[in-house]
Amino acid sequence: MASHRKPRTRVTRVRTTAPALGITTAAIASVGLLAQSAGAAPAAPTAPQPTVEEVQKKVDALYRQAGTATQQYNLAKEATDQQRKSVDGLLDAVADRTGKLNEARRKLGNYAAAQYRSGAVTPTAALLLADSPQAYFDQNRLMDRMTERQRMDVTDFEKQQTEAAKKRAEATRSLESLTESQATLKSSKQDVQRKLAEARDLLSRLSAREKARLAELEKKREAEARRKAEAKAKAEAEAEARAEAEAERRREQAQADESGTEAGTGTGSGADTGTTPGTGTGTGTGTGTGTGTGTDAYAAKAEKVLAFARAQIGKPYVWGAAGPSSFDCSGLTQGAWKAAGVDLPRTTWDQVNVGTRVATDNLKPGDLVFFYDDISHVGIYIGGGKMIHAPKPGAYVREESIYYMPIYGSVRPA
């Protein structure tokens, strides 16, 4: 019998734990990733950026090194120029000797040709085929058969041959030396360019704020150098005032001595006769002294030096340049003293050995002031603790305190 009951509907319950399973799986994956990260090597730390002060010191050092390399370049260039002139002269001498040798050979050839036309190969012809003419003609019988003129021509030929060989060997040595100097010149040039490029690269990495900070540090250094220059200017003015006062005192003393002193005595007696005999004497003495510094001639030269240097203010510094449109430091000093009729060497290393060494306290206008332990920079003293110099790449010839850089020493060129 069929059942009339309603079929029971099966209810499917949804498990509430399913989402929890998904979260757990993700968490497990995350833990695994964290574990892998923990086991991996830590990232390399980023190198600390240099401070502005460190950049300033580094750039200054690079400019100084570039200055040293510039002096090395100048030295190599000077040697190269001199050797090139020497080589040119030797090559001219070789050409001259070769011409004389060919002329001597031509004369001997004429003798050989004449004897060949006569029908035989004579001793003179054999001479031309021999390795050593003198060795061949040392045979007495052959020498006896030669005329005196022929002997003279043979002697001349050997002389020209020897001299030509000597000049060729000398020219070869000079060419080798020139090649070495040119290699040094090239190396020095590359060194300068490398140092300057490194300095520019360091400066280009600075931010606007860092560049402002660098400019501030530069101003402080300039202010300190200016303060020292002002102190020296004051000391120089006081010393000059004392010297003038002393000179005035000596002039007054000399005038007093020149006026001398006068002394006189007199006696007399009289009688009724109306006669009055008398005697009188007088003496006077005077002395005068004078001293001079003997610097008038130097002052005249220094005036020309400073006039030249001032005329170059505003022209750019270019390493290896000696005018007229640009200068490096030693090129400027060389040109300035040349205007006064004094020839200075090209490099700071040679200029420091010219003339007389003077102390900083005794500097006079026109003196050369050298800087750094390696003597890689030089300026022209103008008085008042200041100088005119060609500072560095990117700068122009200008006046500046001598205390801006560490002083090595000073010289008076003439």
| Percentage with pLDDT > 70 across the chain | 65
Q: Are 368 and 378 in contact (CB under 8 A)?
A: yes
Worst-scoring range by mean pLDDT, 19-23, 105-109, 156-160, 228-232? 19-23
Distance CA 382, CA 295 (A): 16
- What pLDDT is stored for residue 122 in this prediction? 54
What tens digit of pLDDT does each residue of 11-53 get?
Answer: 444 444 444 444 444 444 444 444 444 455 555 566 677 899 9
- Is residue 329 flagged as an active site residue? yes
Dist. CA 36–CA 31, nearest whole Å: 9
Q: Which of 4-13, 173-182, 366-375 has the lowest mean pLDDT?
A: 4-13
pTM of the model: 0.66
CATH code matching the domain that covers 209-258+297-412, chosen among 3.40.640.10, 3.90.1720.10, 3.40.50.300, 3.30.70.360: 3.90.1720.10
Active-site hit among 127, 329, 352, 387: 329
Above 60 in pLDDT, residue 123? no
> pLDDT confidence of 390, banded at 50, 70, 90?
very high
- Is 377 among the catalytic positions? yes
260/381 Cα distance (integer angstroms): 45
Q: Tell me the domain boundaries of the chain.
A: 52-206, 209-258+297-412
Range in 12-21, 60-69, 173-182, 309-318 the model is least confident about:
12-21
Is 218 known to be catalytic? no
Mean pLDDT of 185-206: 93
Report helix angle 208-259 to 52-117, nearest 10: 80
Whether 277 has a pLDDT exceeding 50, the answer reads no
**What 3-state class would DSSP assign to 328?**
coil
- Beta strand pairing status for 356-358 and 368-371? unpaired
Q: With bands split at pLDDT 50, 70 and 90, how would you rate the model's confidence at 397? A: very high
- Cα–Cα dist 289/309, whole Å: 38
Which of 94-98, 178-182, 208-212, 318-322 comes out lowest in average pLDDT? Answer: 94-98
Q: What is the pLDDT of residues 62-113, one digit of tens each?
A: 999 999 999 999 999 988 888 777 667 766 766 776 776 677 677 667 666 6
| pLDDT > 90 fraction of the chain, expressed in percent and rounded | 49
Confidence band for 286, pLDDT divided at 50, 70 and 90: very low
Three-class DSSP category at 93: helix
* First-last CA distance in the chain: 147
Mean pLDDT, the chain, rounded, equals 78
The pLDDT of residue 85 is 77
Which of 189, 377, 392, 412 is catalytic? The answer is 377
**DSSP letter string over 131-165?**
S-HHHHHTSHHHHHHS-HHHHHHHHHHHHHHHHHH
Q: Which of 346, 389, 392, 412 is catalytic?
A: 389
Q: Return the pLDDT at 48.
A: 75
Residues in CB range of 395: below 8 A, 6 or more apart: 316, 317
Residue 189 has pLDDT above 60, yes or no: yes
Look at the domain 52-206 and name its fold: Helix Hairpins (1.10.287)
Residue 137 — very low, low, confident or very high, per pLDDT cuts 50/70/90? low
Q: Which residue has the higher pLDDT, 228 or 175?
A: 228
